[in-house]
Amino acid sequence: MTKGKKKPITRNKLLAIAGVGWLFDALDVGILSFVIAALAVEWNLTPTEMGWIGSINSIGMAVGALAFGLMADRFGRKSVFMWTLVIFSVASGLSAATTTLAAFMVLRFFVGMGLGGELPVASTLVSESVAPKERGRVVVLLESFWAGGWLLAAIISYFVIPTYGWRVALILTAIPAFYAIYLRISLPDSPKYEANKTKRQSIWKNIQSVWKKEYAKSTLMLWIVWFMVVFSYYGMFLWLPSVMVMKGFSMIQSFEYVLIMTLAQLPGYFTAAWIIEKVGRKFVLSLYLLGTAVSALTFGFADTTAMLLVSGMFLSFFNLGAWGALYAYTPENYPTIIRGTGSGMAASVGRLGGIFGPLLVGVLTARSVDISSIFTIFTIAIVIAIIAIIFLGKETKQMEID
């Protein structure tokens, strides 16, 4: 081997490096759902104000997904991935020092920017760095780190927030800033991106390209699916601890039950990863979204503790398995020169749904609309996503992505 030439990174090392960044993203989003419940008590927040916290986070994610997705096609996946980690980590740490809702929400916007940019860029990087026969499985496994982050968030929130307060919990989310330094040293850029550097187009040209005839149907499908999935996910999961409190449980009981529900995310990811290369992306994504819809409807109408726990666990199982399939599926619909742009724009449209989801729950709750009706709305949104996949989506299983 030539002196000074770096050895190619192994699949498992790439998965671990990108996955830990993904885990920290989930840690931050997960802790926010518990922090909202704590802030509601400490700052006497109204349901509408609680909803705006989740929505401002999604506004930042929409901006970040679009901006950093475009930048990833111009400047490379690695450098953009690293900076998104730094932005959300520093902003999250600083938000622990805020004393007003306005300051907290400004910093949550920047946290959202980093989060929104990191997720599509990381999935693009990984999908371009592994062989077609295992690409879907590896990206779903990457997404499984999200469950680890949510689980860690639930554990920290259960043991830290009631005793030490929400500020200490948020400080713990600043750790990824140090991890980004390690990423810069050890993570190579996507080999497909490096091979296609000479074919790079202007940012405007990339935006136009996703609506070319050969990609327009896929783009429309992805935008519908992303919007509906993110709308329902953030509407349900950011409010999950608060919904449990509304159903009569104490804050500590709520955190405990959400922790149990979160455990079900892991088998959801692993089963999706196991079958996605066997039966294809469209089937797995549609199946897991169908399971999500049924579980959401059951959770909304649950009137016993047992039904809440069981339906909540199935909701976590199916919804997060669907997320894994969606992240595997999205980059495969575009060629390398516009993959970051296509994935980022789809994610950005999805984050618009994330703005309205938590806000809708806050507004409807303030008007005394029952939880069953709210979760019925999310169920309908998921069904719309399934229809779009079936009629507009194409199968990309083990397809060469260039």
pLDDT above 90 (res 234): no
Other Cβ atoms less than 10 A from the Cβ of 86: the count is 18
pLDDT above 90 (res 140): no
Better-predicted residue by pLDDT, 176 or 270: 270
- Beta-carbon contacts of 87 under 8 Å, excluding residues fewer than 6 positions away, are 64, 110, 111, 113, 114, 117
Angle between helices 213-237 and 371-392 (to 10 degrees): 160
pLDDT above 60 (res 103): yes
Domain limits, the chain: 12-183+210-392
Q: Residue 359 is encoded by which pair of tokens?
A: 């806000």
Residue among 331, 322, 326 nearest 271 (CA) = 322
What is the rounded average pLDDT of the residues 71-76? 88
What is the rounded average pLDDT of the residues 55-63? 86
State the pLDDT at residue 6: 52
pLDDT above 80 (res 361): yes
| Contact criterion met (CB below 8 Å) for 330 and 230 | no
Better-predicted residue by pLDDT, 317 or 174: 317
Would you say domain 12-183+210-392 falls under CATH 1.20.1250.20? yes
What is the rounded average pLDDT of the residues 357-371? 83
What is the rounded average pLDDT of the residues 95-109? 91
Please give the Cα distance from 66 to 163 (Å, whole number). 39
Q: Both ends of the chain: CA-CA distance in Å?
A: 28
pLDDT above 60 (res 4): no
Q: Residue 209 is encoded by which pair of tokens?
A: 């390209």
Q: Full-prediction pTM beyond 0.75?
A: yes
- Beta-carbon contacts of 141 under 8 Å, excluding residues fewer than 6 positions away, are 15, 19, 269, 270, 273, 324
Other Cβ atoms less than 10 A from the Cβ of 46: the count is 12
Please give the Cα distance from 130 to 126 (Å, whole number). 7
Residue among 257, 233, 239 nearest 311 (CA) = 257
pLDDT above 90 (res 345): yes
Better-predicted residue by pLDDT, 118 or 158: 118
